[in-house]
Structure 1
Amino acid sequence: MNRRSLLKGGLLAGIGLPFLDLKEVIANPVGKGKKAKNIIMMVSDGMSTGTLNMADLYANRAWGQGSKWLGLYRENKAVRALMDTASASSMVTDSAAASSSWGGGMRVPNGSLNVGAKGEKPQPILQKFKEQGKKVGCVTTVPITHATPAGFCVNIDDRDGQAIIAKMYLDLRFDVMIGGGSKYFGAKRKDGTIIPDYLAKGFQVAENKKEMLALDKSKPVLGLFAEDGLPYEVDRKHDQRLMDAVPSLAEMAMTAISLMKEHKEGFVLQVEGGKVDWAAHSNDVSGLIFDQLAFDEAVGKVIEFAEQDGETLVIITTDHGNANPGLFYADEADKKFDSLQNFKHSNTWLLAQLNQSLSEQKIKELIYEHQGIAMSSADVNSLMVHFKDIVPGALYNESNLPFYEYGRLMGKYTDVQWAGMNHTGDYVELTMFGPGSEKLKPFIKNYEIHNLMLEAAEMPQHFIHKI
């Protein structure tokens, strides 16, 4: 008997698989050929490839093991592809058009949620699954009315109509909608709070982690844990008050699954790490990496559920790149990158503590205390000069903080540098695990995911005009 025959007849026979080649065993995804009863689509919004890489590098160096996402590649557990992320109006998409490509099955102009260039209004995919008897929901670290969750849910020609979207959700009566954005539901609305309307329609409303963990399966759920976006994970982790009050993305995702998993027709859930995108827009290295790691924690929990369940398709991706950060070569690149392990707060949190009335020494002390960086006098002075140079109206910068300058300066101390402060047209990572994943081609366009989900669930597919 030769060595290959021994492997086939001996080793594999010993585990009850006498007739399969080893490579066939490894390459066989969980649930291949089965119908997907459940679908979980996980989106790290605005995740450039460098973000995924740096989170894995951080995890390896800080904890001695890589990220859960790349672990799927290392262990050959999932199917991997590249995805083109363009919108109908640009090679560089925004989150609304990107999510609409998945939710509606067609490309729409930037800024639109499932409204095409000619006024087309395809039915969003969560409405389709709800009509088929499944439970449906969304989880996010930004407002639940924001572009990525809304792209799975509604048709509206302006993504900024979040107060309108909040009312639309009430009529749609989805099963689990949890994240931030209470200002679009509560007393800060121009027309007054609509929370009583949700309660009158039978919703449970949770406003903190304790209330979320006490929810039951008997009624639909609205969870609102921040006025706008949730805190950055690095800030939440270093503030016990926030840890007690605000759930992590993994906790929100697993709560949503627990509320829907026993439904006989199954469920469909979108999970978004939305503040990865906000951190990239801000060139905020600690905000970026720690929120990507929080997303990765959720990936690990979801994959663990899917492995045990055997009927769940998990899709992991991003809607577009943003700012293209990366770890660049320098004599002390390892040491500088490892300094991120000393960060207790995001750039956003830290800059909000600073103003030009503070002394140079006080600013140095604050930076060292909260980020472990011994910043030079020249760099502190450069930072304070640039507090005067802020352009009002920058995306996710309502406080007009000097994100660009601070991100540039931080590059000296961490060797993480940025290509810009906005979305990119890069092709992005797409990963699938579970029943239906075997249908993924090595390269797809974003709108093809819509039919992949429908096909995996054995539902009628959407006709797509080729773009």
Structure 2
Amino acid sequence: MENVTPSSRRQFLKMSGLAGAASLLTGSATASGNHPDKLPKVAGQAKNVIFLVVDGLSNGTVGLAHHWKLRHQQQPLNWIQLFERKDIHRAYQDTASASSPVTDSSAAASSWGCGQRINNGAVNVTPGGESLKPILSYAKEAGKATGLVTTCRVTHATPAGFAANVAKRNMEDEIAQQYFERGIDVILGGGARHFTQKQEDGSVNKLIPQFKDQGYTYVKNGSELAAAAKGQGPLLGLFANSHIPYMIDRESDGVEPDTPGLIDMFRAALARLDRAENGFLLQVEAGRVDHAGHANDAGAILREFLEFDACIPVALEYIDAHPDTMLVITTDHGTGGCQLNGAGVSYNDSGPALEQINQIKYSFEWLHQRLMEAQQFEPKYVKMAFGIDATADQAAIVQRAIDSQAKYLSGAFIEAFGPQIKEMTAVGWTSSKHTAECVELFAFGPGSETVPAFVKNYEIFGIINNTLGIQTS
């Protein structure tokens, strides 16, 4: 395992706020049992990289959304249309972590971010406790602008995997602090709560004023974001205290009506980063597909993936105008094992079930919030959310969860309404957990031809850096 030089390590530790922490290693070092194959020579070099990731996209979710869009909009998913492009380099990606064939999001993103597989739950920290320099830090050292966009908290596992070093992914206050210290140029998503931090001595560390003092434009809603997209310099946008509300909830009754969606944030990030003289590295995440998969929430997962799918033409339009840009589109793992199943005689009811899914107007999260506010089961909210008239037995299941002050009511919803929603929508699930399925990866532009047909997640780090001409060892 090859270390960076002592002087460069000290410089990065000082810059990253990791002084006194474990020694920082280059991401090109290999962990035990984790040996990247030799990468082919880069045929072309990119100025920019756009990395589009759907967190938790099971292959079955693609099938569900594809047939829904064909039925309702008479056109295939943009994701499906990628298969027909001749300028695409397509791969199948192994998503395992160092500790399990089933990865979590922090280990998956860290494999892209540092070039090694690490244990589930960590962010760019090896099983031995070594902190590995993340890919956005390499990009900054090479003079490139950097950006993170997500529908989750910006300090959540996937964006953190490109930019931070913490032993545990829930150290989100520390992750926010590292974003500031490492000078991430564009940060857009939820998670405002981690930018006002209460210290052990009772004092409050308010990061937002510090960002402003460093020249960041700070925005809190869609209107401010639209105006800021026309400006220059670093940009911080925090649009929710925690995660950004699900697309299905924002569509149904204008929940937080001035909250920007993923495509709005993506366009704004491109507008700001496009002005970077030496190019940029931007990660954009549809993070809540994963959350809907964990909840077995068919209506929410469909809308979240469709929102991501609408970002694909934006990315393709940008690389058409900027052929020196590499584009990667992929997911980190599957979640929930979502599938549109056969229903009815000769499966003839599966098509009509794609109409029935439109009966779902709100997410499980929306229903959870309404019932916890009421502190009692309210059948009207179930009717609003799912179009279902709840029975006494269903009400009792949910009420028990409310009385126990459950952190999430999704388990109770699955028990009470899951079979009925499955019969209605023909959407089934293998679990409420991540899956080990291999996943699709698409690459365009310079360097994309170096992506092998079967790629291990940690190999992407080297491919991107090689394409950008960045030396990591």
Task: Sort the TM-score into its range (normalised by shorter chain).
Answer: 0.7 to 0.9
Q: Report the Cα offset of residue 52 of structure 1.
A: 1.7
Q: Residues of 1 paired with 2:86 and 2:169: CA distance?
A: 38
Aligned residues: 422
Q: Could you tell me which amino acid in structure 2 is paired with residue 327 of structure 1?
A: L
Q: Is the contact between residue 284 and residue 348 of structure 1 (CA under 8 Å) also seen in structure 2?
A: no
The partner residue of 1:112 within 106, 122, 136 is 122
Equivalence for 1:159? 169
Within the candidate set 426, 434, 456, 1:445 is matched to 456
- Deviation of 1:277 after TM superposition, in Å, equals 0.6
Is the deviation greater in 269-278 or in 406-415? 406-415
Name the residue aligned to 1:222.
236
* Distance in structure 2 (CA, Å) of the matches to 1:431 and 1:223: 28
* SS state at 1:242 partner: coil
Work out whether residues 138 and 472 of structure 2, in 8 Å CA contact, stay in contact via their aligned partners in 1: no
Q: Is 2:105 the counterpart of 1:92? A: no
Aligned to 1:10: none
| Unaligned 5+ runs, structure 2 | 1-41
Matched, 1:66 2:76: yes
The 8 Å contact of residues 125 and 132 in structure 2, kept in 1 or not, is answered as yes
Q: Is the 8 A contact 1:134 1:263 kept in 2?
A: yes
Same amino acid, percent of matched pairs: 36
Match of 1:28 in 2: none
Which contiguous aligned blocks of 4+ residues in structure 1 show a shift greater than 6 angstroms?
187-190, 355-359, 390-394
The match for 1:298 is: 311
Matched-pair contact (CA < 8 Å) for 2:110–2:118: yes
> In angstroms, what is the RMSD of aligned CA positions?
2.4
Tell whether the 8 Å contact from 1:284 to 1:403 is kept in structure 2 after alignment.
Answer: no
* Cα drift, residue 308 of structure 1: 2.1
Q: In the alignment, what sits opposite 1:287?
A: 300
- The question of 1:267 aligning with 2:280 is answered yes
Single out whichever of 216-225 and 140-149 deviates more from structure 2.
216-225
2: CA distance between counterparts of 1:141 and 1:265?
Answer: 27
More moved, 287-296 vs 305-314: 305-314
Q: Is the 2:296–2:432 contact (alpha carbons within 8 Å) kept by the matching residues of 1?
A: yes
Which secondary structure does the structure 2 equivalent of 1:256 belong to? helix
Q: Check 1:414–1:57 CA distance in 2 against 1; reply closer, same or farther (3 A cut).
A: same
* TM-score, normalised relative to structure 1: 0.85
- Give the gaps of 5 or more residues in structure 1: 1-31, 463-467
What are the within-5 Å matches in structure 2 for residues 83-232 of structure 1? 83-186=93-196, 191-192=203-204, 193-215=206-228, 216-232=230-246
Contact 1:387–1:401 (8 Å) recurs in 2: no
**Deviation sequence 1:45-66 (CA, Å, 0-9, x none):** 0111111221111111111111
In structure 1, the residue matched to 2:443 is 432
2:49 to 39, 46, 52: 39
Task: Please state how far the C-alpha of 1:86 moved relative to its aligned partner.
Answer: 0.9
In the TM superposition, what is the alpha-carbon distance from 1:368 to its structure 2 partner?
4.1
Secondary structure of 1:42's counterpart equals strand
8 Å contact 2:91–2:441 — kept in the other structure?
yes
C-alpha contact 1:62 1:341 (8 A) present in aligned 2: no
Amino acid at match of 2:439: V
Task: Report how far residue 118 of structure 1 moved.
Answer: 1.5
Q: Sort the Cα spacing of 1:170 and 1:374 in 2 relative to 1 into closer, same or farther, 3 A.
A: closer
Confirm or deny: 8 A CA contact 1:139 1:178 kept in the other structure.
Answer: yes
Shift of the 187–164 alpha-carbon distance from structure 1 to 2, 3 Å rule, reads closer
Q: TM-score, normalised by structure 2?
A: 0.84
> How far apart are 1:187 and its partner, in Å?
6.7
Q: Provide the C-alpha distance between the structure 2 equivalents of 1:47 and 1:456, rounded to a whole number of angstroms.
A: 26
Q: Does 1:381 pair with 2:393?
A: yes
